[in-house]
Amino acid sequence: MGVLVDTREQVWDHIEDTLGEKKIPVQRGKLPCGDYTALLPDEQGGFLSLEDEVVIERKANLDEIAGNFTVDRRRFEAEFLRAKAAGVKVFLLVENASWRKIYSHDYRSKMAPKALAASLLAWQVRYGITLLFCQPEDSGRIIYSTLYYWAKERLEGGAA
Burial class (CB in 10 A: 0-12, 13-18, 19+), 144: buried
pLDDT tens by residue, 106-157: 999 999 999 999 999 999 999 999 999 999 999 999 999 999 999 999 889 8
Residues found in the chain = 160
* pLDDT of the residue at 45: 83
Using the predicted structure, report yes or no on whether residue 160 has a pLDDT greater than 90: no
Using the predicted structure, report yes or no on whether residue 16 has a pLDDT greater than 60: yes
pLDDT tens by residue, 22-69: 999 999 999 999 999 999 988 888 889 999 999 999 999 999 999 999
Long-range contacts of 25-28 (CB under 8 A, 24+ apart): 26/2, 27/2, 27/3, 28/4
Helix (H) or strand (E) holding 56: strand 54-59
* pLDDT of the residue at 152: 93
